[in-house]
Structures are given as structure tokens and as C-alpha cells.
Amino acid sequence: MVCNLFRGICVPGILMHPKLLFSALILVTISACSTLPPKITTESPVEIPDQWSQPATSEPVLKYVDYWLDDFQDPQLHQLIEHGLENSFSFDAALARLERAQATATLSGVSLWPSVNANFRASRARRNNTGGLQITSNTNNTFSPSLDISWELDLWGQARNERKAGIADFQVAQEVYQSAKLSLAASIARSWISLIESKLQLELTEKTLESLEQNLTTVQENFRSGIARALEYQLAKANIANTQSSYERQKRVFDAAQRSFQVLIGDYPDAIISISDRLPQITTSIPIGLPAELISRRPDVIQAERRLAGNSERIKAAKKSFIPNIRLTTSGGIQTNELSEITNTDFKIWNIAANFTQPIFTGKRLKANLDRARANYDESLANYGQTLLRAFQEVESLIAANQFFAEEVAAREFSKKENQLAAEMAWEEYTNGLTTITTLLESQRRAFNSESSYLQVAAQRILSRINLYLALGGDFTGSHSDTTPIQD
């Protein structure tokens, strides 16, 4: 029975005294009781409103937040994020930190279990006897296999409190990992949008440069025929030179953006990547529900709450350190002078001991530990409140910004169309001698700037939507199913 109970570490043939066996059964049975994660009963330090202050639609929130990538209808972005999560070294480091936190949490609960060790001792001793006329010597061999068990009784639950605190720490690490995943996905999406915008800005500059070079041909012909003045010809060439400078700068920006994006997704930065020819389109309105239902999914909010829970358990454990503790030790085995008798139960030995310890004077160490635990709790409570306020502020600001960006994009698009039309009219009037080169160049500059500004604001609107999903705690699956549960 003993060998079945401690399979793999029991020495065959060792029999234990019934009292010793009974003690071992009690140790294992009590230690096997599960430890649940700590709960928080403290009310939120921040008053949570019933609704967001910004108006919103009535669409269900989880439909779009958990699958926020679908909002942009960009299959390539899906693939790039999956690729980045698989190949990013920074994400691999986050996973390693999670595994380390799991091991640390497991160590926090080892004191709940008894310590069981199988031992085998062998010794040989010789003694000379000088009594009488003849010197004699005796040689003794001792063989002693044994099973030793020790356990500190967790009568007051101090070890269980420490175990719960360790579980809370691991849950914090899980949310840090989840936050790293969500942040990396958002970073890839933001970088992808910026990369597309950079490409479109480069194409716009190149198209503008080609158009100006074609216009210069007409101005040059007019100059040679005496219709245009030398000043007009020089202004047209200066305008091309300025645009050429902008074109070279934009090529440099685009090249750097490609390489940075490739590093972000874990690829070699060779600036060779297929990029979409247009910005993704936002096709859904913002779904908003109750703030508490949304903010509670944010990894940083869960981290702050779990830190608070862990520090609450540490206060309980620190208080219980003032209470006496009891340690039980027991061992049993065989002790014989002949190796062949190692399985003979006639040579069995056993012992049971109990140790009672009551702290009396520790140089204020226990009191200082309790004070430190309370201070850590107060700090985590304040941080929890600050995290909630920051989360509300981010979401409220981004909801408002989404509406502002939508209106600005519409205004920029209208401005782009009007300036393009004005540039076409100015060129027609210039070729007919009805306006000056200055008016033509100014209208062309305005057309270029308005289209460039439109691209910039359209990209910023998408980035703001991505930031909103990040602030709401949305991810790919709507759950934390990829985190590893702790094993007792």
C-alpha cells in the first residue's frame, strides 16, 4: 500500500508502522485540496457611468470588437498579423516571460504539499580492541533504506493565501502576454496603414512630377515662340525642382517604412513587400455598450485588478505569520548489517515528530512585513483606480475623435475635388493666355497639397479606429483561450 501511495519513490519491501502510514495519508489528503484564485470584493474606486458620454449606434459591441480586423476588409492585413504573431521575436520573448511566470506561480504552492524523500544509507566502520594480550578488530556494515516525510500544517491558511497570491501573479502575467499579443497586432495594423499611405504619397508625388514635366514642355514652347516670358519658364522649372526634392524625400520615407514593417513582422528588411494600392475602408459604425462591460476586457485593467487581488492575499498571509505553526516529520525504513537482510521487516525502524513554533521576538520583522503588504495593497488600489480612469479617458477621446475624423475626411475629400478642378481650369486658362503662370502654379500646388492632406487624414482616421479597438480590449478571438492555465 505504501508503495502504491508513493509510486516511483518508495523502496520495495519497506513496511511502515500503522501510525506512520496513517500520518502520511493525512498529509497527502489534506494537501490535495485545491486552491482557488483570489477574488476581489473591493468596490471599484472609480464611479462607472451607465453609458459613454459620446453618442453611438445600438449595434451589439462584441460582434465587431472581438473581430475588429473584419472592419477594414483587408485579407492581406489578416495574413500579415498572423505572420507577425508567429515570427516576431518580441512576441516570443513575451511567451517566454509567461512560461517563467507559470513556473514561479507553481513554486508559490509547493509548501502546501508534504516533502517526501527516499533515502538509502550504507556505511562501513572498523574498530580495534586493545584489551588483553591480543589486539582484535571488528568491522561493521550498516545498510538503511528509508522514506522520510515532512510537512508544515497549514492550519490557518497562510500557505493557501500565498498560493492564491501566486495564482494572481500568474494571471497578471497572462494579461501581460495577452496585452503583448493585442499590442503587436495593433502595431502591425497601424504600421501597415502608414505603409500604404506612404506608398500612395509617393505615387501622388510621382504623378504630380510627371504632370509638371509635361506642363513644362508647353511653357518652354511658349517661351521659344515669344508667348511666355523667361520668368514663367524659370518658375515652372523651379516648381519641378521642388517637387523632385519632395519625390526623393518620399522615396526615402517609403523605403524606411517598408524595412521597419518587415522587422515588426519578423522578416528580413530587404524592402521587398507587396503593398495594397488603396487604404482600407471603414465599413461599420462604432458599437458601444456599457463602459463596465467593455473596459473590463482590457488587459491592463485586468492586470491592475489581479495585482490588487494578490496583494489582498499577501496581507492575509502576513497577518497569519504571527500565529504558531506546526511541522510534522515522519520516517520509516530498515536498518541491518547485512545487505541480504534489507527486505527483512524484523529490522524495521520508524519515528514520528511534531514541532510547534510560536514567534515571540523577531526584531519587528513580522510587523514590517505586514506594513509592507498593506502599503502594496494601497498602492495597487490607487493604481487600479488610475488605470480605470485612463481607460475611460482613452475610449471617450477616441470615440469623439472618430466622429471628428469622419467629418474632416469628408471635408478633405471635397477640398481635393475642388482643387483638382481649379488646377484643370487654371491650366486651360493659362494655355489660352487668360491667366498668369503664378496662378497656375499656385492652383497646382493647392491641388497636390489637398490630395496629400486627404490621404494623410484618411489614414489617421483608420489609425484612430485601430486605437479605439485597442482601448476597448478587442482581440482576434474574444477570449484568452491561448493562455496556459496553472497546474496545481
At 452-461, the pLDDT tens digits run 999 999 999 9
Instruction: Tell me the three cell numbers of residue 106.
Output: 507553481
Q: Which residue has the higher pLDDT, 276 or 90?
A: 276
Q: What is the number of domains present in the chain? A: 1
358 part of a folded domain: no
130 part of a folded domain: no
pLDDT at 480: 40
pLDDT band, very low/low/confident/very high, at 450 (cuts 50, 70, 90): very high
pLDDT band, very low/low/confident/very high, at 209 (cuts 50, 70, 90): very high
Q: Which residue has the higher pLDDT, 487 or 353?
A: 353
List CB contacts of 229: < 8 A, sequence separation 6 or more.
Answer: 223
Per-residue pLDDT at 6 exceeds 50: no
For the question of whether the overall pTM of this predicted structure is more than 0.75, the answer is no
**Tens digits of per-residue pLDDT, 242-281?**
999 999 999 999 999 999 999 999 999 999 999 999 998 8
| Residue 374: C-alpha distances to residues 44, 168, 225, 297, 361 (Å) | 18, 17, 90, 27, 21
What is the Cα gyration radius of the chain?
A: 38
131 part of a folded domain: no
pLDDT band, very low/low/confident/very high, at 90 (cuts 50, 70, 90): confident
pLDDT at 190: 94
User: Whole-number mean pLDDT of the chain?
Assistant: 80
25 part of a folded domain: no
List CB contacts of 136: < 8 A, sequence separation 6 or more.
Answer: 128, 129
For residue 200, the domain's CATH number is 1.20.1600.10
Whole-angstrom distance, CA of residue 196 vs CA of residue 169:
40
Per-residue pLDDT at 335 exceeds 90: no
pLDDT at 263: 93
Q: Note down the domain range covering 95.
A: 46-113+154-323+371-472
pLDDT at 3: 36
Average of per-residue pLDDT across 358-368: 85
pLDDT at 56: 47
Whole-angstrom distance, CA of residue 244 vs CA of residue 258:
21
Specify whether the CB–CB gap between 29 and 138 falls below 8 A. no
Please name the amino acid found at residue 172: V
Q: Which residue has the cell 485601430?
A: 466
70 part of a folded domain: yes
pLDDT band, very low/low/confident/very high, at 310 (cuts 50, 70, 90): very high
Per-residue pLDDT at 131 exceeds 90: no
pLDDT band, very low/low/confident/very high, at 154 (cuts 50, 70, 90): confident
119 part of a folded domain: no
Average of per-residue pLDDT across 228-253: 90
Element (H, E) at 443: helix 437-472
pLDDT at 193: 95
pLDDT at 355: 83
Instruction: Tell me the three cell numbers of residue 369.
Output: 512585513
pLDDT at 116: 86
Whole-angstrom distance, CA of residue 113 vs CA of residue 134:
57
Specify whether the CB–CB gap between 391 and 298 falls below 8 A. yes
What is the spatial order of strands in the sheet that 115-129 belongs to? 115-129, 136-153, 325-334, 348-357
441 part of a folded domain: yes
pLDDT at 21: 40
142 part of a folded domain: no
pLDDT at 69: 76
pLDDT at 281: 85
A 10 A CB-CB count for 414 gives: 12
pLDDT at 228: 73
